[in-house]
Amino acid sequence: MTNVNSKKTDLLLRRKFRLGEFLAENVIRSVSFVSFAIIVLIFVFVFRETSQIFYPKDSTISEQYLQSESYGDIPEEGEAQTEQYGSLLKEKVDVADIENLTGKDWQPVGEKPKYGLLPLFIGSLKVTLMAILFGAPIAIFAAIYSALFAPKKIREFIKPTIELLASFPSVVIGFFALVTLATIFQDLFGTTYRLNAFVGGFAMALAVIPIVYTITEDSLVAVPKYYSEASLALGATNWQTAFFVILPAATPGIFAALLLGFGRAFGETMIVLMATGNAPISSINPFEPVRTLSATIGAEMAEVVFGDMHYSVLFLIGSLLFIVTFLINAVAEFYVRAKLMKKFRGE
Partner 1 sequence: MNNKYLGKSIVIFSFVATIMIVVSIVYMVSEMYLNGKDYLTWEFLTEAPTKGMTAGGIFPAIVGTVLLVILMSIACVPLGTITAIYLNEYSNKKSIITKMIRFAVNTLAGIPSIVFGLFGLGFFIQFVGSGMDNVFSEPGQIQWGQPNILWASMTMAFLTIPIVIVSVEETLKSVPDELRAGSLALGATKWQTIKKIVIPNSISGILTGAILAIGRGAGEVAPILFTGAAYFLPYTPTQLTDQFMNLGYHIYVMATQSTDVEATKGIQYATAFILLACTFFLSFIAIIIRYRFRKKINI
Find how far residue 260's CA is from the centre of its chain: 8
CB of 280 to partner 1, least distance (A): 17
Write the CA distances from 262 to 28, 129, 219, 228, 324, integer angstroms.
35, 8, 18, 30, 10
CB of 102 to partner 1, least distance (A): 22
CB of 226 to partner 1, least distance (A): 22
147 secondary structure, DSSP code: I
CB of 237 to partner 1, least distance (A): 6
Closest CA to 287 of 205, 206, 204, 200: 200
CB of 80 to partner 1, least distance (A): 15
CB of 329 to partner 1, least distance (A): 4
Residue 122 or 143: the one with the smaller Cβ distance to partner 1 is 143
Residue 288 or 311: the one with the smaller Cβ distance to partner 1 is 311
CB of 1 to partner 1, least distance (A): 28
Residue 185 or 266: the one with the smaller Cβ distance to partner 1 is 266
CB of 141 to partner 1, least distance (A): 4
Residue 1 or 13: the one with the smaller Cβ distance to partner 1 is 13
Residue 98, judged by CB atoms within 10 A of its CB (0-12, 13-18, 19+), counts as exposed
Residue 189: phi, psi to the nearest 5?
-105, -10
Residue 155: phi, psi to the nearest 5?
-60, -40
> Per DSSP, what are the bridge partners of residue 200?
none
Residue 196, judged by CB atoms within 10 A of its CB (0-12, 13-18, 19+), counts as buried
Is there a contact between 85 and 67 (Cβ–Cβ < 8 Å)?
no
What is the DSSP annotation of 215-267? HHHHHHHHS-HHHHHHHHHTT--HHHHIIIIIHHHTHHHHHHHHHHHHHHHHH
Residue 2 or 196: the one with the smaller Cβ distance to partner 1 is 196
CB of 112 to partner 1, least distance (A): 25
Residue 112 or 179: the one with the smaller Cβ distance to partner 1 is 179
Residue 29 or 284: the one with the smaller Cβ distance to partner 1 is 29
149 secondary structure, DSSP code: I
Residue 112 or 184: the one with the smaller Cβ distance to partner 1 is 184
Residue 29 or 345: the one with the smaller Cβ distance to partner 1 is 29
Q: Cβ contacts of residue 115 below 8 Å, gap of 6+? A: 96, 100, 101, 103, 106, 108, 309, 310, 313
